[in-house]
């Protein structure tokens, strides 16, 4: 491993983009790209664990992705369900699993499985792996604001108790630190409503490599770049 341990990011966010184009380039259906993307997800999660990254979040399905053709949505859901069925193996790995986003649109089996895995792994502390499913950054903030409004309404807190750390703690990522490295393969240079609050001070790493081709070597390149940037958090 080439990156210096001392300057590893604490939380990496991955926007898994380019699955469709990867498949189209090979004359395959887009769903084949998602299947290969799911393999890349496993590969990169394992590698992050191996090199000692403590928190990773993958953008798997956005609040806007429901607009895709039904066949494609179903294929992504079935890849996700396959992962949920085998995810308990992560228990052996001392990895805490969490799912970010509103779970209510998913079918009961999927919802129960997500809740079960979160509960079963809640005390594992070597790494936290978050999968953003039906996630949107703005929706995350609205969800936090609603929870705060509820606390104020019940008299549990007053207006003066509302600060950045309270808003952060009530986001879906409430138990995770801020993102310090955000990686977007697939050639686009935008955040697409992913972890917008949590990435306020993140370093961004963009590459034209498509997500299914994203390898541990590509991650090493991103880590090298991260460790070479000077991070001043608005100071001098
Ligand atoms: C974006 O690429 C990718 C998605 C919307 C789906 C990502 C889903 C998976 C990798 C599989 C399921 C998840 C897990 C955690 C097992 P795109 O389709 O927008 O690519 P394009 O820009 O090339 O069309």
Residue nearest to atom 24 of ligand 1 (CA): 20
Q: pLDDT tens digits, residue range 81-136?
A: 999 999 987 657 899 999 999 999 999 999 999 999 999 999 999 999 999 999 99
- Asked if 173 contacts 11 with a C-beta cutoff of 8 angstroms, the reply is no
97, with CB counted inside 10 A (0-12, 13-18, 19+), is: buried
Q: Which residues contact 158 (CB under 8 A, 6 or more apart)?
A: 152
| pLDDT reported for residue 40 | 98
Give the residue, out of 22, 23, 37, with the most ligand 1 atoms within 8 A of its beta carbon, to mutate for a pocket test: 37
- Asked if 49 contacts 87 with a C-beta cutoff of 8 angstroms, the reply is no
146 CA to middle of ligand 1, Å?
A: 29
140, with CB counted inside 10 A (0-12, 13-18, 19+), is: buried
CA 190, 195, 201: angle at the middle one, nearest 5?
80
Which residues are the active-site residues? Answer: 17, 65
- Mapped onto helix, strand or coil, the DSSP state of residue 191 is coil
- Asked if 204 contacts 184 with a C-beta cutoff of 8 angstroms, the reply is yes
Does ligand 1 have an atom closer than 6 angstroms to the CB of 21? yes
Structural Rg of the chain based on CA atoms = 18
- Size of the chain in residues: 236
The answer to whether residue 27 scores a pLDDT higher than 50 is yes
Q: Which helix (H) or strand (E) is 130 found in, with range?
A: strand 127-135
Give the integer Cα–Cα distance in Å for 98 and 88.
12
Q: Give the other-Cβ count within 10 Å of 35's Cβ.
A: 18
Which numbered atom of ligand 1 lies nearest the CA of 211? 2
Q: pLDDT tens digits, residue range 145-156?
A: 999 999 999 999
Does ligand 1 have an atom closer than 6 angstroms to the CB of 65? yes
18 CA to middle of ligand 1, Å?
A: 7
100 CA to middle of ligand 1, Å?
A: 16
Q: Give the other-Cβ count within 10 Å of 191's Cβ.
A: 17
Does ligand 1 have an atom closer than 6 angstroms to the CB of 216? no
From 32-46, 71-85, 147-161, 219-233, the region with the lowest mean pLDDT: 219-233
């Amino acid at each position: 491993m080439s990156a210096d341990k001392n300057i590893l990011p604490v939380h990496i966010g991955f926007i898994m983009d380019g699955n469709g184009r990867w498949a189209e380039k090979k004359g395959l259906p887009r769903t084949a790209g998602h299947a290969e993307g799911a393999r890349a997800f496993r590969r990169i999660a394992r590698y992050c664990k191996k090199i000692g990254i403590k928190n990773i979040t993958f953008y798997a399905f956005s609040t806007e992705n429901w607009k895709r053709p039904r066949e494609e949505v179903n294929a992504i859901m079935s890849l996700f369900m396959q992962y949920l069925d085998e995810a308990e193996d992560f228990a052996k790995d001392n990895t805490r699993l969490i799912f970010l986003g509103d779970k209510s649109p998913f079918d009961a089996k999927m919802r129960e499985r997500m809740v079960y895995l979160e509960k079963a792994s809640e005390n594992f502390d070597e790494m936290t792996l978050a999968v953003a499913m039906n996630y949107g950054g703005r929706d995350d903030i609205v969800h936090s604001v609603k929870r705060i409004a509820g606390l104020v309404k019940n008299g549990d807190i007053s207006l003066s108790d509302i600060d950045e750390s309270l808003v952060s703690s009530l986001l879906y990522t409430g138990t995770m630190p801020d993102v310090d490295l955000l990686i977007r393969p697939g050639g686009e240079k935008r955040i697409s409503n992913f972890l917008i609050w949590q990435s306020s001070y993140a370093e961004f790493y963009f590459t034209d490599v498509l997500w299914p081709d994203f390898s541990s070597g590509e991650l090493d390149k991103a880590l090298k770049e991260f460790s070479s940037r000077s991070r001043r958090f608005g100071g001098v």
